[in-house]
């Protein structure tokens, strides 16, 4: 099953909402530091409600720490960016994909982007809108991957 990776997330409620989505879908969630908040942040916990016990949460202090785990476990790293090269809806997801998302303010750092097997974007009709909310982007892409892989039965 695809996994969600948040690299340097900054806004606790976004991460909490993503954690709730991961809990609901049984998706593993990886947080890559530095984070813009403490894991114990009340806004993070509030957004995740009482679902935290159901989140398969992994914390990696650095991007290098995450890369080590990724190499051990295998699979493709798919970086999501407004400047991605492929439309996520036309991309063929695989069961062992890692869906990488950057911080709300800066996106994926260049070192994370360069480690990705490919970069994807979510098309938006209005060119004056810079990006979608991080938790929306994660949900849209995770559910498309799950749909393609037959997990929405």
CB 50 within 8 A of CB 20: no
Give the pLDDT of residue 29: 97
Burial class (CB in 10 A: 0-12, 13-18, 19+), 38: exposed
d(CA 104, CA 68): 24
Short-list 44, 144, 127, 48, CA closest to 87: 144
Q: To 5 degrees, how large is the angle CA 59–CA 54–CA 27?
A: 65
Is there a domain that residue 80 lies in?
yes
CA atoms within 13 A on the CB side of 140: 17
Domain with 138, as residue range(s), is 3-148
How many angstroms separate the Cα of 54 from the Cα of each of 24, 57, 88, 101, 134?
8, 9, 27, 21, 21
Residue 153 tokens read as: 């039965």
CB 22 within 8 A of CB 55: yes
Is there a domain that residue 153 lies in?
no
Give the pLDDT of residue 52: 79
Give the pLDDT of residue 8: 96
pLDDT(80) > 80: yes
pTM, rounded to two decimals: 0.94
Average pLDDT of the residues in 24-51: 80
- For the chain, strand residue ranges (E) read 3-7, 28-32, 56-60, 77-80, 86-87, 98-101, 118-121
Instruction: Give tens-digit pLDDT for 84-140.
Output: 999 999 999 999 999 999 999 999 999 999 999 999 999 999 989 888 999 999 999
Q: In sequence order, what are the residues at sequence separation of 6 or more whose Cβ sits closer than 8 angstroms to the Cβ of residue 147?
A: none
Annotated binding site: 102, 122, 131
Is there a domain that residue 88 lies in?
yes
Q: Which domain CATH number covers 144?
A: 3.40.1280.10
Give the pLDDT of residue 68: 97
Instruction: Give tens-digit pLDDT for 38-57.
Output: 777 566 666 555 787 899 99
Residue 85 tokens read as: 């090269």
Total domains present in the chain: 1
Give the pLDDT of residue 49: 59
Residue 42 tokens read as: 């009340």
Is there a domain that residue 21 lies in?
yes
Confidence of residue 32 (pLDDT cuts 50, 70, 90): very high
Annotated binding site for S-adenosyl-L-methionine: 102, 122, 131
């Amino acid at each position: 099953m695809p996994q969600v990776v948040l690299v340097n997330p900054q806004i606790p409620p976004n991460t909490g909402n993503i954690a709730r989505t991961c809990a609901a879908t049984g998706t593993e969630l990886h947080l890559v530091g530095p984070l813009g908040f403490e894991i114990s942040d009340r806004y993070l916990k509030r957004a995740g409600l009482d679902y935290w016990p159901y989140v398969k949460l992994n914390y990696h202090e650095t991007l290098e720490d995450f890369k080590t785990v990724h190499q051990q476990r295998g699979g493709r790293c798919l970086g999501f960016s407004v400047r991605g090269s492929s439309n996520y809806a036309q991309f063929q997801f695989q069961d062992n994909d890692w869906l990488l998302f950057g911080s709300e303010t800066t996106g994926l750092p260049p070192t994370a982007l360069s480690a990705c097997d490919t970069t994807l974007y979510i098309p938006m009709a209005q060119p004056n809108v810079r990006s979608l909310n991080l938790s929306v982007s994660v949900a849209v892409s995770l559910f498309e991957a799950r749909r393609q892989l037959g997990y929405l039965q």
